[in-house]
Amino acid sequence: MNDSGRASAIVFRDVHFSRGAQPVLRGFSLAIAAGDTLALVGRSGAGKSTILKLINRILVPDSGEVLVESRPTHTWDPFELRRRAGYVMQEVGLFPHLTIGQNIATVPRLLGWDDGRVDRRVTELLELVGLDPKDYGRRRPDQLSGGQRQRVGVARALGADPPILLMDEPFGALDPVTRAEIHREFRRIQERVRKTVVLVTHDMAEAFALATYVGVLSDGVLAVVGEPAVVARSTDSRVRPLLEPLIEASAVLGRRS
Amino acid sequence: MTVFHFWRTHANEFFTLLGQHVLLVCASTVVAIAVGVPVGILAARRPRIGAPIVWLANVVQTIPSLAMFGFLLPLPFIGGLGARVAIFVLILYALLPIVRTTTAGLRSIDPILIEAGTAMGMTPGQLMRQVELPLALPSIVAGIRVAAVIGVGTATIAAAVGAGGFGEYIFRGLSMVDSTVILAGAIPSALLALTIDGALTLVERGLKDFSRAHRRRLRAAVALVVLIAAATAGVVAVSARRSHDAIRIGSKNFTEQIILGEIVAQTIETRTGLRVERRLNLGGTFICDRAVRSGDIDAYVEYTGTAQTAIFHQQVDTDSRRVLAAVKAQYAGGGLTLLDPLGFENTFAMLIRGDDAGRLGVRTLSQAAAFAPSWRAGFGYEFLQRQDGYPGLARTYGLHFARPPTAMDLSLIYRALMERQVDLIAGDATSGLIDAYGFTMLEDDRHYFPPYDAAVVARSSVLLAHPDVKEALASLSGRIRVADMRRMNRAVDADHRDAADVARDFLRRDR
């Protein structure tokens, strides 16, 4: 994955992690180049969220190392690290007592930006995710649709312009039409901001739609990793089941046409 | 007299009591918030530490408030009479609702929001201030509302320890058997509770819908609370400063005691020129005894029979001299001096209507036993139960009534006799209503009742330091006859005269 010669933004080096007696990761290794979008696909319980939490040091590995910007996570100040890694989750988790503008301003405020800079940044981000800043900035989260809330979630994660973006099943709760729309939107945004994105999902279609690289997680190790076209042709028995729904769908579509 | 007329004629006092009541509730609620919210946070964060604290607050909540005042009176620093102990008790009662709702409010927060805040790089403190507390605030305010409303109610009991507030009117009304005076205290206290409830409900609703206009109103409300708290702290600090040069006279919370308290206080004032502080209307025998032992008051009037049974827990004795000697000796052992009796006895009085007494020619309890089978009797709850009450009386005189005696409240018993609902009651020998209604008191010709001679109890150290005070108190011995006491009680209870004026008239005429 380091073929372009760019520096690795995030590296997992033989990481083991157990939840109680239950091993989740057993010798997991991975390197993600700055500016790439990596989608990790796996079944529920495969340890996808654990990988994200190891990156922003909500969890630390039992053995092995996770390096962010070439520094092991346990040597980072956890709060500083998390402010450099925007987080988007399926439930969005917007603060209901704050306006949309205040939600987006959360991390910039934590970093002590002045009011003018915060306001400019909020306006910029609302425009980036396609919401009118004058209208939406003052609204409350419960006055937005699910798709709009998810866009705000992305804007909030980008708040202080972090180099890394972590996304946990970010668009899983949306209906298929809205999801397709927001996928296009995300590609357009990523084209402009060029973050290092780690996205976990159980939906291979979402992974293909968004990522520059796709990894398949199975039994606590990375089974396959490569460009979408490569993974799509994989014959690996750990990958095929995840591709089945797509093959069936295209078969149905093929018969129709 | 209507309640409105009462308020008009007592306007100054009314506003003083209102001020005291509000201060008691505000001061205690503010402190309870300052203690309860952090404890609630701790209980939510560390259930192992929090659970016992919540359990303790639960236990405290079950202690009756009057009993709590009794427990705390003898303690150093927080104890003693006045606002300090009252505020302390109110704080204890306010803690539970605040701790509970703080914990509940924090626990009900969607864990996703905590996860989001953590992932964004908030420190635990930032998470608490920016996310958890704002979201738990409506719940916390609900707890504060409950605490304040409970506080308004409990603060009426605070009058029993001399902390003032609307409880003064309620206790006074109860002792005068005057529902107007009770209402004069109960109505504003209920209105105060409703006002606080309404205001805080608005704040709570404002917090829930998170809009900007409410935020501004909220800031104003918070500023107001802080202002009241500061004012309260000042007043409490001033009132807590005790004056050490004054003689403090106490009394229990019924009419006769208040008049006697005034008589004792005025006698000391005129005879010695010393300053006298009045701590009248204290909530009963127990509290007066605790107060005189701890030095919160220097003297009050007690009854020998009450002292022997209720304070020293000795067997009932019917010989008045023996009782007096025994009680004097008991008091002396505790650093207190019982002076010679004032001259009258406040015993249980078995009363019948005057026309019955005249028609039947009944003067004594022995004679009454013959007519009892055709009579109905009404007794207070205490008299029905007490060892020196009805059971022994019935045995001594062979009394059998038409049906078992009716238990009724003391405040209703005189009226029940007058209105012919009952034919014989147990009242107070010195009640002003005996003369007012023309009742006849049956003579206890077999000397069943123990003696209840009224006498001043004083701290021996004060009498030693102030021989002129001792002299002044001694001058009252044997000076008040039962007829005098009845007349004075009647002047206050039936004619609604001021107890201090009635006492002054008595001392002037009797000089």
Instruction: Please name the residue of chain B whose CA is at the shortest distance from the CA of residue A83.
Output: B121
Task: Quote the CA–CA distance of A2 and A212 in Å, as a whole number.
Answer: 12
Strand partners, B246: none
Same domain, B138 and B215: yes
Q: Give pLDDT, residue B329.
A: 92
Residue type, B293: R
Query: Is residue B105 a part of any domain in this protein?
Result: yes
Shortest CB distance from B116 goes to which of A83, A93, A166? Answer: A93
Q: What distance, in Å, lies between the first and last C-alpha atoms of chain A?
A: 37
Is residue B33 included in any domain, yes or no? Answer: yes
For B89, the enclosing helix (H) or strand (E) is helix B83-107
Distance CA A112, CA A20 (A): 38
* CA geometry: angle B492, B497, B503, nearest 5 deg: 75
A182 touches chain B (CB under 8 A): no
Predicted pLDDT at A1: 47
Contact A82 B119 (CB under 8 A): yes
Q: What local confidence, expressed as pLDDT, does residue A3 receive? A: 46
User: Among all residues of chain B, which has the CA nearest to that of A85?
Assistant: B120
Fill in the DSSP letter of residue B64: -
> Residue B506: is its pLDDT beyond 70?
yes
**Residues B400, B464 within the same domain:** no
Instruction: Determine contact: A163 vs chain B, CB below 8 A.
Output: no
Concatenate the DSSP letters of all residues of B413-459 into one string: HHHHHHTTS-SEEEEETT-HHHHHTTEEEEB-TT--SPP-BEEEEEE
Environment class of A85 (CB within 10 Å of its CB; exposed 0-12, middle 13-18, buried 19+): buried
In terms of pLDDT, which residue wins out, A41 or B435? A41
- Burial of B420 per CB tally in 10 Å (0-12, 13-18, 19+): exposed
The DSSP code sequence of chain A is --TT-PPEEEEEEEEEEEETTEEEEEEEEEEEETT-EEEEE--TTSSHHHHHHHHTTSS--SEEEEEETTEEGGGS-HHHHHHTEEEEETT----TTS-HHHHHTHHHHHTT--HHHHHHHHHHHHHHTT--HHHHTT--GGGS-HHHHHHHHHHHHTTT--SEEEEESTTTTS-HHHHHHHHHHHHHHHHHH--EEEEEES-HHHHHHH-SEEEEEETTEEEEEE-HHHHHT---TTTHHHHHHHHHHHHHHHHH-
CA distance B500 to chain A (A): 59
Residues B340 and B360 in one domain: no
Closest B-chain CA to A79: B121
Residues B295 and B161 in one domain: no
Of A83, A91, A106, the CB nearest to B112: A91
The Cα B291–Cα B73 span in angstroms is 7
Chain A residue numbers with beta carbons less than 8 Å from the beta carbon of B133 are none
Same domain, yes or no: B30 and B136: yes
Write the DSSP string, B251-303: EESSHHHHHHHHHHHHHHHHHH---EEEEEEESSHHHHHHHHHHTS-SEEEEE
Count the neighbouring beta carbons within 10 Å of the beta carbon of residue A99.
Answer: 21
B140: closest CA of chain A, how far (Å): 15
Domain boundary among B218, B240, B262: B240
State whether residue B121 sits within 8 Å of chain A by CB: yes
Cα three-residue angle B51-B54-B56, rounded to 5 degrees: 110
Tell me the C-alpha distance between B454 and A66, whole Å. 88
Please give the helix or strand (H or E) that residue B503 lies within, else none: helix B499-510
pLDDT single digits (tens) B183-222:
999 999 999 899 888 888 887 777 766 555 556 666 776 6
Q: Are residues B254 and B217 in the same domain?
A: no
Check CB contact of B247 with chain A, cutoff 8 Å.
no
User: Are residue B173 and residue B279 in the same domain, yes or no?
Assistant: no
Higher pLDDT, B481 or B291: B481
Residue B336 sits in a domain of what CATH number? 3.40.190.10
Total domains, chain B: 3
A79 inside 8 A of chain B by CB: yes
Tell whether A58 is within 8 A of chain B (Cβ).
yes
pLDDT of residue B449 exceeding 70, the answer is: yes
Low-confidence stretches of chain A (pLDDT beneath 50): 1-5
CB contact B213 to A (< 8 Å): no
Q: Is residue B447 part of a domain?
A: no
Is residue B449, in this structure, part of any structural domain at all?
no
Residues B116 and B206 in one domain: yes
Is residue B42 pLDDT above 70, yes or no?
Answer: yes
Greatest extent of chain A over all pairs of C-alpha atoms, in Å: 59
Edge-to-edge strand order for the sheet containing B276-282?
B276-282, B247-252, B299-303, B454-459, B336-338
Supply B407's token pair. Answer: 């238990």
Contact A52, A30 (CB under 8 A): no
CATH number of the domain bearing residue B34? 1.10.3720.10
What pLDDT shows up at residue B199?
Answer: 83
* 8 Å CB contact of B122 and A97: no
Q: Are the CB atoms for B503 and B486 separated by under 8 Å?
A: no
Partner residue opposite B120 with nearest CB, options A80, A91, A107: A107
CB B320 within 8 A of CB B451: yes
Q: What is the layout of strands, in order, in the sheet containing B424-428?
A: B406-407, B377-379, B424-428, B348-353, B439-442
Residue A170 near residue A89, CB atoms below 8 Å: yes
Phi/psi for A19 (5° steps) reads: -105, 105
Closest residue of chain B to A102, computed from CA coordinates: B130
- Measure in Å the smallest separation between the Cα of A246 and chain B Cα atoms: 31
Helix B47-62 with B83-107: angle, nearest 10 deg: 140
Query: Among residues 131-160 of chain B, which lie with CB inside 8 Å of chain A?
Result: 131, 134-135
Interchain contact, B120 vs A81, CB within 8 Å: no
Q: In this structure, what is the dihedral angle of CA atoms B394, B395, B399, B403, given to the nearest 10 degrees?
A: 60
Secondary structure of B343-412 as H, E, C letters: CCECCEEEEEEHHHHHHHCCCEHHHHCCCHHHCCEEECHHHHHCCCCHHHHHHHHCCCCCCCCEECCHHH
Higher pLDDT, B179 or B343: B343
Q: Quote the DSSP letter at residue B157.
A: G
CA distance A196 to A201: 16
Q: Which residue of chain A comes nearest to B133, CA vs CA?
A: A97
Cβ of A97 within 8 Å of Cβ of B121? The answer is: no
Q: Report chain B's mean pLDDT, rounded to a whole number.
A: 85
Of the partner residues B113, B115, B126, the one whose CB lies closest to the CB of residue A95: B113
Look at A82 and B121 and tell me if their CB atoms are within 8 Å.
yes
Terminal Cα distance for chain B, rounded? 33
Of residues A69 and B407, more confidence is placed in A69
Residue-wise pLDDT tens digits, B233-243: 665 555 544 44
Asked if the C-beta of B126 comes within 8 angstroms of chain A's C-beta atoms, the answer is yes
* CA distance, residue A44 to nearest chain B CA (Å): 18
Both tokens of B392, joined, read: 């022994």
CB contact (8 A) between residue A110 and residue B122: yes
User: Which range of residues forms the domain containing residue B385?
Assistant: 348-442
User: What CATH number is attached to the domain comprising B401?
Assistant: 3.40.190.120
Confidence class for position B175, pLDDT limits 50, 70, 90: low
**Other residues' Cβ atoms within 10 Å of the Cβ of residue A77:** 10
Please tell me whether residues B309 and B356 are part of one structural domain: no
List, in order, residues 6 or more apart from B270 with CB less than 8 Å away. B507
Phi, psi angle pair for A152, to nearest 5°: -65, -35
Contact between residue B132 and residue B83 where contact means Cβ atoms under 8 Å apart: no
**How many other CB atoms sit within 10 Å of the CB of residue B493?**
21
Asked if residue B102 and residue B21 are part of one domain, the reply reads: yes
Of B120, B123, B130, which is closest to A87 when you measure between CB atoms?
A: B120
Cβ contacts of B210 on chain A, cutoff 8 Å = 96-98, 140
pLDDT at B203: 78
Contact A110 B135 (CB under 8 A): no
Specify whether B302 is located in the same domain as B189.
Answer: no
**Between residues B382 and B278, the one the model is more confident about:** B278
Query: Given an 8 Å threshold on Cβ–Cβ distance, is A79 in contact with B123?
Result: yes
Cβ atoms within 10 Å of B250's Cβ, excluding its own: 28
Chain A residues with beta carbon closer than 8 angstroms to that of B112: 89, 91, 93
Span B455-468, pLDDT tens digits? 999 999 999 889 99
| pLDDT for the residue numbered B242 | 47
CB pairs under 8 A between A and B: 54
| Domain-embedded: residue B324 | yes
Asked if residue B293 has pLDDT above 90, the reply is no
- The per-residue pLDDT for A4 is 46
Check B135 against A87: CB less than 8 A apart: no
Distance from CA of A153 to the nearest CA of B (A): 10
Residues of B in contact with A110 (CB under 8 A): 120-122, 126
Q: Compare all CA atoms of chain A with the CA of B210 and give the residue at the minimum distance.
A: A97
Mean pLDDT score, B4-18 = 82
- The residue-averaged pLDDT of B284-313 equals 87
Residue B245 resides in a domain: no
pLDDT tier at B342, thresholds 50, 70, 90: very high
- Report yes or no on B448 lying in a domain: no
- Of B112, B113, B210, nearest to A140 by CB-CB distance is B210
Q: What is the pLDDT of residue B108?
A: 92
Q: Which residue has the tokens 């606080």?
A: B196
Question: Residue B176 pLDDT more than 70?
Answer: no
Average pLDDT rounded to a whole number, residues B276-293: 84
Closest-CA distance of chain A to residue B120, Å:
6
Quick: pLDDT tens for B128-166. Answer: 999 999 999 989 999 999 999 999 999 998 887 778 889
From B416, B442, B468, the end of a domain falls on B442
Contact (CB, 8 A) for B165 and B17: yes
Residues of A within 8 A of B115 (CB-CB) are 89, 93
Looking at A175-184, B60-69, B71-80, which range is the least confident one? B71-80
B108, B113, B115, B120: best to mutate for the A interface, most A CBs within 10 A: B120
Pick from B240, B258, B274: which residue ends a domain?
B240
Q: Are B279 and B262 in contact (CB under 8 A)?
A: no
Please tell me the predicted confidence (pLDDT) of residue A116. 93
Is B128 buried (19+), middle (13-18) or exposed (0-12) by CB count in 10 A? Answer: middle
B107 located within any domain:
yes
Q: Say whether both B314 and B255 belong to one domain.
A: yes
Residues facing B255 on adjacent strands: none
- Say how far apart CA A229 and CA B490 lie, in whole Å: 106
Burial (CB count within 10 angstroms: exposed 0-12, middle 13-18, buried 19+), residue B463:
buried
